[in-house]
Structures are given as structure tokens and as C-alpha cells.
Amino acid sequence: MEQGKTNGGEKAKRLRPFIYWTGGKSKNMFYIARNYPRREFTKYCEPFLGSGVVMLDVIEKYKIKSVLANDINKELINTFEQVRDNVDDVIERFKKMEDEYIALAEVEDGQKNFYYNKRKLYNEVIEGGGEDLDDIDIAVLFLFINRTCKDGNYRVNKQGYFTTPWNERILTHSTLNEDDLRDVAKALHGVKFTTASYKSCMSFIDEDTFVYLDPPYIYDIEPQPKFKSISIPYCTEPFTTERFIEFKEFVDKVHDTGASVLVTIPSREKDGEKDKVRELFNEYRIKEIGVGKPDENGNKSRFEFAISNY
């Protein structure tokens, strides 16, 4: 295992994540990387992939023989696969779509209407329509929506339709760095992607594996009476307390294989959640780390648990 690969002593160019994601770890990489296992590993598994920022960091820093990346979001995983396999077509078609959008910068509501038309088309794809679109078109649509929706926030309603509004920012220049995307495409060669529940990753995991788990935050919908119109992060099946307990059982099974496991979970005071998480993972090493921007007094206002079996 070799850390910080360099070319002839020069610092290697960093791989840049290309997806904005709710709960994405790009701003917290410093503390996550400090909590990677010290022992050797040759396999890497990330069952809740999201933007893939941690996977890209691990691929870049270590010599990994085998990577499994999974997320329940089919369109997200398709986007990674298309970037890996067809990066030139993705770039060409994305630029075409973005150019059309930029050309509407001066038209009243032009970009807004364009966004909502593309969101409608995206929801047709989710519904099983969009027959004229191939997997590359769907990836391009995903990338476009991801870059023009509000805060890259992936929210769906109860039926699974994407509900995030337009970001209300007029775009006048391209958001895509072609070289960065090509570098990512190269790095993804050999990565196996799957779209399933995180539990399906179990068969890949053994004592040579580093497993990084970043599940959705606990989201108990029952007490909220307006469930019908609610918009839920990521997918139609929110991570309720019950599902979270199942998740803990999964972590135990991963531990039993001899793998190194790192879990990150927001540490929130709400409903005694913090104490519950501490209690649930009391056999593991737990660190609480300040994340995000410091407040005016320089104190961190958000915290996360980094839980590991090492």
C-alpha cells in the first residue's frame, strides 16, 4: 500500500469529484482521510457512494486491486458508469445541452423553463419512459440537473419523482472541466458499480477490505402528518430509526469478516439521537469531529461521528 503517489517527486494532480451531493463529503475529506485504517488493505468497498469523493481519494492514495461502489440511486450509478466507459460522448453531449442552456441567459425565464423541462424529462425516465434516450443521454441529463438544481440537493417525493427546484442562478459559462472528468474516467477503470441495497455488498467484503459507510441521516417520517406531500432525501425509503438499527447489524457483520470499517454519521442533539448512536456503537471506537464552516467565534457548529473498528 502506498500513500500519496507522486510522479517524479511532483505532487500528483488530484482527482476532482464531478457530482454535487447532499451530505457529500468533499468539505470533510481532511478528517475522513485522517481516519483511514493504518493496516494494509487491497480491496475497497463503499456501499453508500453518493458523489464518490471518498472513493476517488482512496483510489488515488492507495494501490487497490478491487473496488466495489454501490448506491441505491440507479441514475447516479449509471452516471458513474457512463463517465467510466464513454467519457468523450458524455462530454460532447453535456456541452451541447449546457450550451443550449447558456444561450438562454438573456431570455426571461429561459433557463428556468429549460431546467423544469429537463426535470420533467428526468422524471419520465424514472417512471420508465424516455425511450429515445440511451444510457449516455440519461447520464448527461443527470449531470445537467445536478448542476442546475438548488444546492445539488437530491430529493424525491413519495412516488420517487425528483422534486428539487431550479437553483435560480443564471449561467453564462460552462461548468464542466473536461480534463478533470477524463482523469476521473481513467481512475474509474476496473471499478465495479452496483445499484442495490447496501446489504448486497456483503459478499464482496473480506479481511483485506476497507469498507467506508456513510448512510443517510436518520429520518423518521412517521410523526410528520403531511407525508403525502413530503420530499425525502435520496430515495423513497428513508432511513428511519428501525432501518438504522438494521444498518448497525450490517456493520457488525462487516466487522466479523475481519474487514476495516469506518462509519460517518452526523452527531445531532435532536431527539437524543447523539446518545442513541453512542449507545448503539459502544463497542466501536467513536470520535466526534467538528465539520463545516466555523461560526463567528471560530467554533464548529456541526459535528459528525467517525466510528471505526480499528
Ligand X SMILES: C[S@@+](CC[C@H](N)C(=O)[O-])C[C@H]1O[C@@H](n2cnc3c(N)ncnc32)[C@H](O)[C@@H]1O
Enumerate binding residues for ligand X (CB under 6 A).
Answer: 21, 23-25, 47-48, 50-51, 53-54, 70-73, 197-198, 214-216, 234-235
Q: Are 210 and 187 in contact (CB under 8 A)?
A: no
For residue 142, which of 164, 161, 109, 118 has the smallest C-alpha distance?
118
**Which of residues 177 and 197 has its CB atom nearest to ligand X in the complex?**
197
* DSSP H helix total and E strand total for the chain: 8, 11
Query: Cβ closer to ligand X: 43 or 155?
Result: 155
* Shortest distance, position 189 Cβ to ligand X, whole Å: 21
Nearer to ligand X, 104 or 235 (CB): 235
Q: Which residues of 181-196 are buried (b: 16+ CB within 10 A; e: fewer)?
A: bebbbebbeebebbbe
- Least distance (Å) between residue 217 CB and ligand X: 7
Q: Which is nearer to ligand X, 96 or 158 (CB)?
A: 158
Smallest gap from residue 263 Cβ to ligand X (A): 11
Separation of CA 241 from chain center: 21
Q: How far is the CB of 21 from ligand X (least distance, A)?
A: 4
* Pick 175 or 200: Cβ nearer ligand X: 200
Q: 460517518: which residue's cell?
A: 264
Distance separating alpha carbons of residues 247 and 302, to the nearest angstrom? 23
* Amino acid in position 293: K
**In angstroms, rounded to a whole number, what is the distance separating the alpha carbons of residues 137 and 133?**
5
**Burial (0-12, 13-18, 19+ Cβ within 10 Å), 204:** buried
Q: How far is the CB of 237 from ligand X (least distance, A)?
A: 7
- 45 or 101: CB nearest ligand X: 45
Instruction: Kindly tell me the sign of the dihedral angle through the C-alpha atoms of 33, 38, 43, 48.
Output: negative
C-beta of 184: minimal distance to ligand X in Å? 14
Position of minimal CB gap to ligand X: 50
Shortest gap between Cβ of 71 and ligand X (angstroms)?
Answer: 5
Residue 177 near residue 16 (C-beta atoms within 8 A): yes
Task: Considering the complex, state which of residue 53 and residue 87 has its C-beta at the smaller distance from ligand X.
Answer: 53
Give the Cα separation of 130 and 24 in Å (integer).
28
